[in-house]
A and B are shown apart, each in its own frame.
Chain A
Amino acid sequence: MLKLKAARTLPARASALGWRMLDPRSCWSLRVDLVAAAGPMSAADLPLAIDVCRAATRGDWSALWLGPDEQLLVGLDSAHAQLAPRLAAALDGVAHSIVDVSHRQAAIELSGPGATRLLAMGCPLDFDLRSAPVGFCTRTVYAKAEVVLWRQDTQRFQLQAWRSFLPYVTGLLALGSQELTAGI
Chain B
Amino acid sequence: MLIIPCPYCGPRPELEFSYGGQAHVTRPTAASNPSPAEWNAFQYERANLKGLHAERWRHIHGCARFFNVVRDTTTDEILRSYRSGEK
On A, residues with C-beta under 8 Å from B are 52-53, 66-68, 70, 124-125, 138-141, 146
Contact = CB atoms under 8 A, between A and B. Distances in A.
A140 B8 contact: no
Given A66-B63, A68-B8, 10 more contacts: A53-B9, A67-B62, A67-B64, A68-B63, A68-B65, A70-B63, A124-B13, A124-B15, A124-B16, A138-B9
Nearest to B3: A124
A108 B4 CA distance: 28
Contacts of B63: 66-68, 70, 139
B8 A125 contact: no
B64 A140 contact: no
Contact of B15 (A52, A68, A70, A141): A141
A111 to B, nearest CB: 24
Interface in B44-69: 61-65
A140 B16 contact: yes
Contacts of B65: 67-68
A179 to B, nearest CB: 21
B8 A138 contact: no
A127 B61 CA distance: 17
Nearest to A66: B63
A160 to B, nearest CB: 13
Contacts of B10: 52-53
Contact of B61 (A52, A53, A141): A141
Nearest to A141: B61
B1 interface: yes
A139 B13 contact: no
B76 to A, nearest CB: 17
A52 B10 CA distance: 9
Nearest 7 A/B pairs, CB to CB: A67-B63, A124-B13, A141-B61, A146-B61, A124-B15, A67-B64, A139-B62
Contact of B64 (A52, A53, A70, A124): A70
Contacts of A70: 63-64
A139 B61 contact: yes
Interface in B1-60: 1, 8-10, 12-13, 15-16
